[in-house]
């Protein structure tokens, strides 16, 4: 009985068989842990061997309990059990067709199984002891085993016989490997030596002493660059296999190295040890990664990495098989064969074959399914610069430095014809879509056109002033395009055999050009290290990608036109997102300049060739941005730790959903981390399902995340408008749902959405063709000013200052379509009414309004005509039969209109205030017509009364058709709603004064309650007759008049005045909402267009706006409202900062408190000093008086002296 752990940490399991959703991603990320895995329990002994099918559908494990268990890779339940071994099973391998399983044990026999039927088919005997190691050759049907008997034995699985023996003589064979070309066998033995054997002769060609102890495990990297061994002395050694020298010695483990595996990209290897750890090492950087698969349950005896590199399986002494999802899906296959630089390639239409040309003067043909060479042509005497495979896959064309153009039979690999018309090297070749023409570009500056069927040159085009590096046929026309070192792209007609146009690119030497399949775009790569994207219909440069550091050698489009790839002399393949106009991915495994790249037709793979003599096949669906093997593990670790995202992590995404860290944060509501990730460079893009981070925040109603994204975008619009435009593209499917959001940032974001097109070719002044603002919908993202302004101007005095605006993405523009109705409904039901003030919303509403205005006027005229006919009948006492008939016809037509509207929209959508009025009005009107037409009796007053009310109510809606009256319709309705509380109070006070008048002895014409209710109204209107002197009745009349007539009615005036003032400030919102409601009603009736879908760019021509000017008064309430919104916005932005400051202030206040006491003491001292100062001032005054006395005494003494002298 198997046991499966109830918690799996994997990112996505079997993504190819189910839809990958963010919900599934988060579910698995939440359960992910570096110490958690999926456990398969069924063995009763240590697990020594594991393998799996290439699609991971089945897992095989062999154990010390002598059993082989077959596991279902999806359900993880036991599928079957093979039990014929008598000893521990420690060798398992699937044949290349995966139909048979080969197993070996500590006994001396191999068994071959039809594992699906769970039966043994063959038994192979030859070893004289336990079997310890094995390897299955990938390109042939040979199986090699190593055993206790000191032999490596080679088995031919075609006839299930022993094919050869390699005797080590130095000890048991514990480990082994085979080189990629399958010419050398490597064995590791318990004497610590590595022995190399020549396959076929079985000769020992070399012995290497590792000096590290018994070689327990061994693995050779897929590219044959490194051999890694693990020993019983706890040592890992890495050898540079090109020279068999030690490259790196590792002493990380504290016990035997039991097992080793290497990743498919040859950059990392994984080791398992008896110290109960599984470690990851990066070879080129000579470093151990921080991530580990640590488990404490037992010693890991066996490692197996799935063929797709996605899953690591471990078998341990605790009897369990564990499954670790490492998501190493950066699959890169490498094809080897050329001996010099590979210069060009061409892929077959069916994606099965690749043709390459090289400086080694050969053409090679590759089977892309088998990933091997299937043909070789010694084609030229010099380097072959270009090669092209015909679309019908019958011919190969090659051009060389030997000046020859040669045509080869694809199947026979034979020369059909050669053209000798060139005088210098042929750099480029292209074959026309119908395979009739061949074009070449040459160092002699000429473009030549050849007839394939007639085997002759048709035309030699001259005009380029430097070498021609690239030529391309149009997919849809007779045009041929050429790019040259003279910086121009030239367009030639293949039917008229003449030049059509010369385009000055203003770039450097053009190395390569490519056309999108729809020919809306052309991309060229130049020696300025730039990839230039052109709008090819308008022949205008759209954008330039400048990430490369050296020349661009090749550019190409994916088949769906969504991606552009460039091959560069810096060795890096860069992939750009065409729609979002940004760098999507970096492929950086070539060691020399990359010369050419091409997408497979399904767009999943990209194939590149390089001067490093390799062909690489990249699996784009399962690759991260940087392409590092363990990027996903580090990504998941970051999410779990919830630490601040660093720049490197912000550039990553998780395959296959291709979700960025912003997607994850938006989905999980971590708005603070989302904000940091955006400021650290996380791109705003869509995942594989077409969803942006904004989409997830909106879908899950996480308002903080919506606010963070919109605030970031508003700031980005100020700082980097180009990046703003690129990121806006990711919201192209979210804008409709965004309109319903309540974010305070939404109006500002919408205001920034209309981008002023500053293209130099657009006029700054002109005479508009229509009233401004003028709106036009366009397939292209380039504005055609001729649709807005006069091209010929005879009176310049009529010119005005103009600006052209556009939305950065396409919107639904097919009137009556589901997309258009959804857009309008979301605008109408938006809780953020300020969006009606934004220019884009006003333009969307007004453009549709202008289209539907004739229909709206017609509907209004019919509605009012119905009222006129009703009035005619009322005035003529219902006697005009023609008028009755016409009135009936009009109401039947209106009734049918309502029925159709209800059927088209559905009852739930149909129910609304005006639709209710419409329906009741038509029913009552038709009923009234039937009554007056079928009886001579007076009509029923009640029915006529109701009919008049409903007809005039519905007629009121007709005023919505006009800008000058539209505002008042909603004003009347809101005034009625807002006055209801007042009416309740008014009725209450009226009843109060009626009762008061009754008790005062007032005269009533009726003793009923009706009289109690009627008389107060008469009193309010002044109907009071009192001939006696003032009494209680008179006082009641006075109170009622003062309170009900003066106070209450003045209160009503105040309420209505405030309501009008508020309405005045909301006039724009109200008008836009009324218009939207009418537009929805009309578009709903266009049911035949409901399933149509058409999206276009919206282009606008308007008068140039000058900052600081306003066209209308917004009212005092609007000004206050705007101030409040701004303050709220600023408060939201600053709240975190203020909270931190307040915390700091509180901390400082704790310090200040004792200082306050000291200040109090100081204040007391100061008070005492003040008192002392006053006393001192008093003393000073006394001293001044004393001083004056001293002066007087001195004067007196002087006079006495004078007098004394006189006396003497």
Residue 1178 has pLDDT above 80, yes or no: no
Q: What share of the chain is helix, strand, coil (3-state, %, to 5)?
A: 35, 30, 35
Ramachandran angles phi, psi of 1090, nearest 5°: -60, -40
Residue 599 has pLDDT above 80, yes or no: yes
> Does the residue 219 lie in any domain?
yes
Torsion of CA 1196, 1201, 1206, 1208, to 10 degrees: 140
**Same domain? 938 vs 976:** no
Residue 1010 has pLDDT above 70, yes or no: no
In DSSP terms, 248 is beta-bridged to: 238
Residue 546 contacts residue 532 (beta carbons within 8 Å): no
Q: What is the DSSP string of 536-588?
A: TTTTEEEEEE---SS-EEEEEE-TTSSEEEEEETTS-EEEEETTTTEEEEEE-
- Neighbouring C-alpha atoms within 13 Å toward the C-beta of 132: 25
The two beta strands, 552-557 and 563-568, are: antiparallel
**Same domain? 231 vs 101:** yes
Residue 826 contacts residue 736 (beta carbons within 8 Å): yes
Alpha helices, DSSP H, located in 226-266:
none
Query: Chain centroid to CA 664: how far?
Result: 11
Residue 120 contacts residue 102 (beta carbons within 8 Å): no
Please, which pLDDT band fits residue 1015 given cuts at 50, 70 and 90? Answer: low
Out of 72-76, 808-812, 970-974, 1092-1096, least confident range: 970-974
Tokens of 645: 């995202």
Rounded Cα distance between 299 and 318, Å, is 7
State the average pLDDT over residues 644-671.
78
Rounded Cα distance between 375 and 394, Å, is 14
Name the one residue in this structure whose structure tokens are 């390109």: 139
Q: What is the pLDDT of residues 153-190, one digit of tens each?
A: 999 999 999 999 999 987 899 999 999 889 999 999 99
Picking from 399, 459, 488, 392, the residue whose alpha carbon sits closest to that of residue 432 is 392
State the average pLDDT over residues 662-678.
90
N- to C-terminal Cα separation, the chain: 151
Out of 325-334, 592-601, 729-738, least confident range: 325-334
DSSP 3-state of 441: strand
Which residue has better confidence, 619 or 32?
619
The two beta strands, 573-577 and 582-587, are: antiparallel
**Same domain? 733 vs 773:** no
Residue 463 contacts residue 502 (beta carbons within 8 Å): yes
Residue 1008 has pLDDT above 80, yes or no: no
Rounded Cα distance between 95 and 143, Å, is 8
Rounded Cα distance between 103 and 91, Å, is 5
**Same domain? 685 vs 785:** no
Q: What is the DSSP string of 1139-1164?
A: HHHHHHHHHHHHHHHHHHHHHHHHHH
Q: Residue 1 has what pLDDT?
A: 36
Residue 1036 contacts residue 1010 (beta carbons within 8 Å): no
Helices (H) and strands (E) in the chain, counts: 22, 65
Rounded Cα distance between 878 and 867, Å, is 14
Residue 418 has pLDDT above 70, yes or no: yes
> Does the residue 1090 lie in any domain?
no
Highest mean pLDDT, choosing among 548-552, 979-983, 1100-1104? 548-552
Q: How far is CA 710 from CA 40, 748, 751, 752, 1129, in A?
A: 47, 9, 12, 11, 12
Name the one residue in this structure whose structure tokens are 């309420």: 1055
Tokens of 885: 């008939």
DSSP 3-state of 772: coil
> Does the residue 597 lie in any domain?
yes
Please, which pLDDT band fits residue 19 given cuts at 50, 70 and 90? Answer: low
> Does the residue 898 lie in any domain?
yes
Domain boundary among 913, 943, 963: 963
**Same domain? 954 vs 972:** no
Q: Residue 1025 has what pLDDT?
A: 53
> Does the residue 946 lie in any domain?
yes
pTM: 0.62
State the average pLDDT over residues 246-264.
91
Tokens of 640: 């779990």
Sorted by sequence, the CB contacts under 8 Å of residue 597 that are 6+ apart come out as 554, 556, 565, 566, 567, 573, 606, 607, 608, 609
Q: What letter would DSSP give residue 868? A: H
Q: Residue 982 has what pLDDT?
A: 67
Sign of the dihedral through C-alpha 48, 54, 56, 60: negative
Out of 922-936, 983-997, 1146-1160, least confident range: 1146-1160
Ramachandran angles phi, psi of 61, nearest 5°: -135, 140
Q: Residue 903 has what pLDDT?
A: 80
Report the alpha-carbon angle 848-853-859, nearest 5. 125
**Same domain? 767 vs 745:** no
Q: Residue 938 has what pLDDT?
A: 47
Tokens of 435: 């395979």
Residue 865 has pLDDT above 60, yes or no: yes
Query: Chain centroid to CA 228: how far?
Result: 41
The tally of domains found in the chain comes to 7
Picking from 700, 702, 653, 637, the residue whose alpha carbon sits closest to that of residue 675 is 702
**Same domain? 180 vs 270:** yes
**Same domain? 728 vs 773:** no
Q: Residue 388 has what pLDDT?
A: 95
Rounded Cα distance between 879 and 890, Å, is 18
Residue 66's domain is classified under what CATH number?
2.130.10.10
Which residue has better confidence, 711 or 18?
711
**Same domain? 29 vs 77:** yes
State the average pLDDT over residues 124-149.
90
Out of 170-179, 561-570, 771-780, least confident range: 771-780
Q: Residue 5 has what pLDDT?
A: 35
Q: Residue 199 has what pLDDT?
A: 94
* 94 Rama sector, left if φ>0, alpha if ψ -120 to 50, beta otherwise: beta
Rounded Cα distance between 662 and 214, Å, is 50
Report the run of H or E that residue 727 belongs to, with start and end. Answer: helix 721-729
Residue % of the chain over a pLDDT of 70: 77
Please, which pLDDT band fits residue 685 given cuts at 50, 70 and 90? Answer: confident
Domain boundary among 687, 722, 753: 753
**Same domain? 854 vs 939:** yes
Q: What is the pLDDT of residues 1103-1121, one digit of tens each?
A: 876 544 444 444 444 444 4
Residue 3 has pLDDT above 50, yes or no: no
Q: Which range marks the domain in which residue 1075 is found?
A: 966-1079
Which residue has better confidence, 584 or 30?
584
**Same domain? 720 vs 654:** yes
Residue % of the chain over a pLDDT of 90: 37
SS (H, E, C) 911-951: CCHHHHHHHHHHHHHHHHHHHHHHCCCCCCHHHHHHHHHHH
Q: What is the mean pLDDT of the chain?
A: 81
Residue 648 has pLDDT above 70, yes or no: no
Q: What letter would DSSP give residue 768? A: B
**Same domain? 949 vs 976:** no
DSSP 3-state of 278: strand
Picking from 1059, 1067, 1065, 1040, the residue whose alpha carbon sits closest to that of residue 982 is 1059
> Does the residue 1129 lie in any domain?
no
Q: How far is CA 611 from CA 332, 374, 401, 1002, in A?
A: 17, 21, 17, 114
Rounded Cα distance between 703 and 930, Å, is 57
Residue 174 contacts residue 187 (beta carbons within 8 Å): no
State the average pLDDT over residues 493-520.
91
> Does the residue 68 lie in any domain?
yes
Rounded Cα distance between 555 and 515, Å, is 9
Residue 1126 has pLDDT above 70, yes or no: no
Residue 111 has pLDDT above 80, yes or no: yes
Residue 75 has pLDDT above 70, yes or no: yes
Residue 1065 has pLDDT above 70, yes or no: no
Beta strands per DSSP E along 283-371: 287-294, 300-305, 311-316, 320-325, 332-336, 342-347, 353-358, 362-367
Q: Residue 50 has what pLDDT?
A: 95
Burial code (b: 16+ CB inside 10 Å, e: under 16) for 816-825 equals: bbebbbebbb
Out of 726-740, 841-855, 938-952, least confident range: 938-952
Q: Residue 814 has what pLDDT?
A: 87
Rounded Cα distance between 844 and 813, Å, is 10
State the average pLDDT over residues 185-208.
93
> Does the residue 374 lie in any domain?
no
Which residue has better confidence, 974 or 255?
255
Highest mean pLDDT, choosing among 610-619, 900-909, 911-920, 959-968? 610-619
Residue 839 has pLDDT above 70, yes or no: yes
């Amino acid at each position: 009985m198997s046991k499966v752990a109830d918690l799996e940490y994997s990112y996505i399991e079997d993504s190819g068989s189910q839809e990958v959703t963010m919900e599934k991603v988060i579910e698995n990320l939440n359960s992910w842990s570096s110490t958690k895995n999926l456990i398969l329990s069924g063995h009763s002994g240590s697990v020594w061997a594991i393998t799996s099918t290439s699609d991971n559908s089945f897992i095989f494990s062999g154990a010390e309990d002598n059993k082989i268990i077959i596991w279902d890779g999806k359900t993880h339940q036991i599928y079957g059990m093979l039990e014929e071994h008598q000893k521990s099973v420690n060798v398992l391998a699937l044949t290349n067709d995966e139909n048979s399983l080969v197993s070996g044990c500590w006994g001396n026999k191999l068994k071959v199984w039809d594992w699906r039927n769970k039966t043994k088919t063959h038994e192979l005997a030859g070893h004289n002891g336990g079997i310890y190691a094995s390897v299955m050759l990938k390109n042939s049907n040979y199986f090699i085993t190593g055993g206790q008997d000191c032999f490596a034995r080679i088995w031919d699985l075609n006839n299930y016989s022993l094919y050869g023996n390699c005797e080590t003589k130095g000890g048991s064979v514990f480990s082994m490997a085979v080189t990629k070309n399958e010419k050398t066998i490597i064995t590791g033995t318990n004497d610590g030596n590595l022995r190399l054997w020549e396959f076929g002769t079985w000769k020992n060609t070399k012995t290497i002493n590792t000096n590290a102890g018994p070689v327990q495990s061994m693995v050779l990297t897929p590219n044959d660059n490194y051999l890694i061994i693990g020993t019983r002395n706890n040592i890992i050694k890495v050898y540079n296999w090109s020279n068999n020298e030690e490259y790196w010695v590792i002493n990380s483990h504290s016990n035997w190295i039991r097992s080793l595996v290497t990743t498919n990209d040859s950059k990392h290897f994984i080791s398992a040890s008896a110290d109960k750890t599984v470690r990851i090492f990066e070879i080129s950087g000579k470093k151990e990664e921080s991530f580990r698969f640590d488990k404490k349950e037992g010693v890991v005896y066996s490692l197996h990495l799935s063929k797709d590199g996605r899953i690591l399986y471990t078998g341990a002494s605790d009897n369990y098989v564990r499954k670790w999802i490492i998501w190493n899906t950066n699959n890169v296959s490498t094809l080897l064969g050329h001996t010099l630089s590979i210069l060009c390639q061409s892929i077959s239409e069916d994606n099965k074959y690749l043709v390459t040309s090289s400086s080694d003067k050969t053409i090679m043909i590759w089977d892309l399914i088998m990933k091997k060479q299937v043909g070789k042509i010694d084609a030229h005497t010099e380097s072959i610069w270009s090669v092209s495979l015909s679309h019908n896959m019958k011919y190969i064309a090659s051009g060389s430095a030997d000046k020859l153009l040669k045509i080869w039979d694809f199947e026979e690999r034979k020369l059909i014809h050669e053209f000798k018309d060139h005088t210098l090297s042929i750099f480029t070749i292209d074959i026309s879509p119908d395979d009739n023409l061949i074009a070449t570009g040459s160092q002699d500056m000429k473009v030549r056109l050849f007839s394939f069927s007639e085997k002759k040159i048709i035309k030699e085009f001259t005009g380029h002033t430097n070498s021609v590096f690239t030529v391309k046929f149009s997919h849809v026309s007779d045009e041929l395009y050429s790019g040259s070192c003279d910086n121009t792209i030239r367009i030639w007609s293949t039917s008229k055999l003449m030049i059509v146009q010369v385009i000055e690119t203003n770039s450097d030497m053009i190395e390569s050009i490519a056309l999108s399949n729809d020919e809306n775009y052309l991309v060229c790569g130049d020696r300025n290290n730039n990839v230039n994207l052109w709008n090819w219909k308008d022949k205008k440069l759209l954008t330039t990608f400048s990430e490369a550091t050296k020349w661009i050698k090749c550019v190409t489009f994916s088949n769906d036109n969504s991606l552009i790839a460039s091959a560069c002399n810096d060795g890096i393949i860069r992939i750009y997102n065409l729609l979002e106009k940004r760098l999507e991915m970096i492929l950086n495994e070539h060691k020399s300049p990359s010369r050419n790249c091409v997408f497979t037709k399904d767009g999943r793979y990209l194939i590149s060739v390089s001067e490093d003599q390799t062909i690489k096949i990249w699996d784009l669906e399962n690759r991260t941005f940087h392409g590092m093997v363990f990027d996903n593990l580090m990504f998941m670790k970051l999410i779990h730790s919830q630490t601040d995202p660093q720049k490197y992590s912000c550039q990553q995404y998780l395959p296959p959903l291709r979700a960025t860290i912003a997607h994850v944060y938006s989905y999980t509501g971590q708005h603070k981390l989302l904000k940091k990730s955006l400021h650290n460079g996380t791109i705003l893009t869509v995942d594989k399902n077409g969803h942006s981070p904004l989409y997830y925040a909106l879908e899950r109603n996480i308002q903080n995340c919506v606010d963070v994204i919109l605030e970031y975008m508003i700031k980005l619009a100020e700082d980097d408008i180009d990046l703003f435009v690129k990121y806006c593209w990711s919201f192209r499917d979210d804008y409709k749902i965004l309109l319903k959001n309540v974010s305070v940032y939404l109006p500002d974001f919408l205001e920034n959405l209309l981008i002023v097109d500053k293209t130099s070719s657009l006029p700054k002044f002109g005479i508009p063709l229509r009233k401004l603002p003028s709106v036009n919908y366009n397939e292209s993202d380039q504005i055609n000013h001729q649709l807005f302004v006069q091209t010929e101007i005879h009176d310049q005095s009529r010119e005005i200052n103009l600006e052209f605006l556009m939305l950065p993405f396409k919107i639904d523009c097919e009137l009556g379509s589901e997309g258009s109705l959804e857009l309008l409904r979301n605008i109408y039901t938006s809780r953020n009414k300020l969006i009606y003030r934004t220019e884009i919303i006003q333009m969307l509403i007004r453009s549709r309004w202008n289209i539907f205005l004739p229909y709206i006027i017609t509907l209004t005229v019919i509605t009012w005509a119905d009222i006129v006919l009703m009035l005619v009948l009322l005035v003529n006492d219902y006697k005009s039969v023609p008028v009755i008939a016409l009135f009936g016809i009009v109401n039947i037509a209106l009734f049918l209109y309502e029925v159709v509207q209800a059927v088209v929209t559905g009852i739930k959508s149909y129910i609304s205030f005006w639709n209710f009025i419409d329906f009741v009005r038509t029913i009552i009107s038709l009923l009234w017509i039937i009554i007056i037409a079928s009886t001579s009796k007076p009509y029923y007053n009640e029915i006529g009364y109701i009919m008049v009310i409903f007809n005039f109510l519905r007629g009121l809606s007709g005023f919505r058709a006009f800008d000058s009256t539209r505002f008042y319709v909603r004003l009347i309705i809101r005034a009625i709603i807002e006055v209801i509380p007042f009416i309740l109070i008014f009725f209450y006070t009226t009843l109060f004064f009626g009762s008061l008048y009754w008790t005062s002895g007032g005269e009533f014409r009726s003793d009923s309650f009706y009289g109690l209710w009627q008389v107060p109204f008469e009193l309010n209107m002044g109907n009071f007759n009192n001939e006696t002197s003032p009494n209680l009745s008179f006082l009641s009349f006075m109170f009622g008049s003062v309170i009900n007539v003066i106070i209450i009615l003045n209160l009503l005036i105040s309420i209505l005045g405030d309501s009008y003032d508020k309405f005045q400030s909301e006039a724009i919102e109200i008008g836009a909402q009324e218009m939207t409601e009418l537009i929805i009603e009309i578009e709903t009736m266009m049911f035949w267009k409901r399933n149509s879908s058409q999206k276009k760019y919206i282009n606008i021509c308007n008068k140039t706006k000058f900052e600081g000017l306003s066209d209308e008064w917004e009212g005092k309430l609007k000004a206050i409202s705007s101030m409040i919104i701004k303050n709220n916005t600023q408060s939201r932005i600053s709240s975190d900062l203020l909270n931190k400051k307040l915390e700091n202030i509180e901390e400082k206040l704790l310090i200040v408190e004792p200082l306050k006491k000291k200040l109090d003491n100081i204040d007391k001292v100061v008070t005492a000093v003040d008192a002392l100062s006053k006393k001192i001032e008093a003393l000073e005054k006394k001293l001044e008086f004393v001083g004056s006395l001293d002066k007087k005494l001195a004067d007196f003494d002087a006079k006495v002296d004078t007098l004394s002298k006189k006396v003497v």
